[in-house]
Structure 1
Amino acid sequence: MDELIDILDSEGNPTGKTAMKSEAHRYGWYHQSVHIWFYTANGKVLIQQRAANKDTHPLLWDVSVAGHIGAGEAVKTSALREIEEEIGLKVEEGDLQKIGCYPSFHEHSPELIDREFHHTFLCELKVPLHRLKKQESEVADLKLISLIQFSQETWGLANLGKYVPHGIEYYKTVVKEIKKRL
């Protein structure tokens, strides 16, 4: 789905300009997104399999919830909206724990240049997996896996081809931050 988003400079600062997401991707303009990693008190991580129709990384496993921040939308407002849209869960703003903002630049093709700043949050999942309602157009599957398995598969180099390539340092940071909360 195309949407109006804010355009940033190469340092992640607002430029005051807006554009459609498709235009930002076509021209490689910097913009922002949210990543929300859900974890359970017993050390599991919720991962999402991207839908088959996605422009980038179809059917790869990824962050629990992710999405673009709408033009003029507050970061946490966007995170709460994306959580409800993608997995049908309502959480409180205070449940979101920001762990950082990470640049991610990928040239998928000459017509799809993705330059994003991921505002990344953790949130404890307090409901069983079967209570989540995946958004069929975005999410093929949801799965809870142990933090150990997740670590091995994302930065232990056991199965990198299974996941969206966010980078080993990014995945290490997510794992370390979840461990601090267990």
Structure 2
Amino acid sequence: MDELIDILDSDGHLTEQTEMKSVAHREGLFHQTVHIWFYTKTGDILLQQRGKNKATFPLLWDVSVAGHIGAGESIEISALREIEEEIGLQISKQELQKIGVFKSIHKHSKTLIDCEFHHTFITELKVPLHSLKKQESEVENLKLIAINQLKRELKGKEKNSYVPHKASYYEAILKKIKH
């Protein structure tokens, strides 16, 4: 779905310019996204398998919930909206723990360049996996995986099953969740 988003400079500052998401991706303009990682008290992480019709990284395992921040939309409101849209869960703003902003550039093709700043949160998953309702157009599947197993898979031959975020990004997420 195309939507109007705020454009950032290469340092992550708002420029007062807005563009449609499709234009930002075509021209490689920096913009904001939210990433929300859900974890359980028993040491599992919720992963989302990206939809088979996604333009980028179809069917690869990724962050629990992710999405673009609409133009003028607050970061936390965007996170809550994406959580409800993608996995059918309502949580409060107070349950989100922001752990950082991560710069990411992925050049998929000449006409699809993701230049993003991921506002990244962690939060506890307090409901069973079967109670989540995945957004069919965005999410192929959901699963819980033990933190240690995820670490092994990201370093092993299974790493090709995951969206290729920087190793430092995954390490930062897992470190924060462990603590």
TM-score range, shorter-chain basis? over 0.9
State the match for 1:129 in structure 2. 129
Determine the C-alpha separation between the residues in 1 that align with 2:35 and 2:151: 18
Opposite residue 167 of structure 2, the aligned amino acid is I
Alignment of 1:1-182 (within 5 A): 1-154=1-154, 156-180=155-179
Q: Which runs of 4+ in 1 moved over 4 A?
A: none
Percent identical pairs in the alignment equals: 63
Q: Deviations over 1:88-141 (max 9, x none)?
A: 000000000001000000110000011000000001000000000000000000
Q: In the alignment, is the contact (CA less than 8 A) between 1:152 and 1:158 conserved in 2?
A: no
Pairs aligned (count): 179
Determine the C-alpha separation between the residues in 1 that align with 2:39 and 2:174: 10
Corresponding residue SS for 2:148: helix
Q: Deviations over 1:124-165 (max 9, x none)?
A: 0000000000000000000001011111112x3342101000
Q: Deviations over 1:63-92 (max 9, x none)?
A: 000000000000000000000000000000
Q: Deviations over 1:31-57 (max 9, x none)?
A: 000000000000000000000000000
Could you tell me the TM-score, scaled by structure 1's length?
Answer: 0.97
Q: In the alignment, is the contact (CA less than 8 A) between 1:36 and 1:79 conserved in 2?
A: yes
Q: In the alignment, is the contact (CA less than 8 A) between 1:36 and 1:121 conserved in 2?
A: yes
Opposite residue 141 of structure 2, the aligned amino acid is D
Mark the runs of 5 or more structure 1 residues left unpaired by the alignment: none
Q: What RMSD over aligned residues (CA atoms) do the two structures have, in Å?
A: 0.6
Taking a change above 3 Å as real, the CA distance of residues 158 and 173 of structure 1, as seen in their structure-2 partners, is farther
Determine the C-alpha separation between the residues in 2 that align with 1:84 and 1:50: 16
Mark the runs of 5 or more structure 2 residues left unpaired by the alignment: none
Determine the C-alpha separation between the residues in 1 that align with 2:76 and 2:87: 16
Opposite residue 17 of structure 1, the aligned amino acid is Q
Determine the C-alpha separation between the residues in 1 that align with 2:176 and 2:74: 23
Corresponding residue SS for 1:32: strand
Determine the C-alpha separation between the residues in 2 that align with 1:99 and 1:158: 28
